[in-house]
Amino acid sequence: MSPQQDRASGLVDGASDEVVEPSEDERAAWERVRRSAKGMRHHEAKNAWDEARKAAEDESRTGRDALIARAEAEEWKRVTEALFDHAGAYDSADDPFVQGGLEGRAHHAPPPPGRR
């Protein structure tokens, strides 16, 4: 992702170029989408993305609800794009983005007690 895309996605603060960690609400939204997407094929994920996009564009949603709706729509988009040229069904265990994130968090986790 380019620095401009990072800033547009909210992952980087446009004023300071600092990486902004996703909130727990965003992480939970992504997990819900991944659980829902398990076993879906591209056309099913695309339908779910269309619905999530409509929910995210609903101007009556504000604050936390709007943040969660946007996070869900963005994750449905990513899952749909991942399935675009994939003949099978979605499974987060086979998703390189998800696996890379898990590996990255494991490397940044605090060391176990007694191993400092």
Domain boundaries, the chain: 24-95
d(CA 83, CA 52): 17
Q: List pLDDT tens digits, range 92-111.
A: 888 888 888 888 777 766 66
Shortest CA distance to 34 belongs to which of 105, 104, 85, 101? 101
Beta bridge partners of 19: 12
19 pLDDT higher than 50:
yes
Q: What angle do CA 75, 110, 98 make, to 5 degrees?
A: 20
> Model confidence over 24-48: pLDDT tens digits?
999 999 999 999 999 999 999 999 9
- Sign of the alpha-carbon dihedral angle for 42, 47, 48, 54: positive
Can you tell me the distance from the alpha carbon of 55 to that of 60, in angstroms, rounded to the nearest whole number? Answer: 10
Q: 64 is written with which tokens? A: 């936390």
Q: What is the pLDDT of residues 44-79, one digit of tens each?
A: 999 999 999 999 999 999 999 999 999 999 999 999
pTM recorded for the entire structure: 0.71
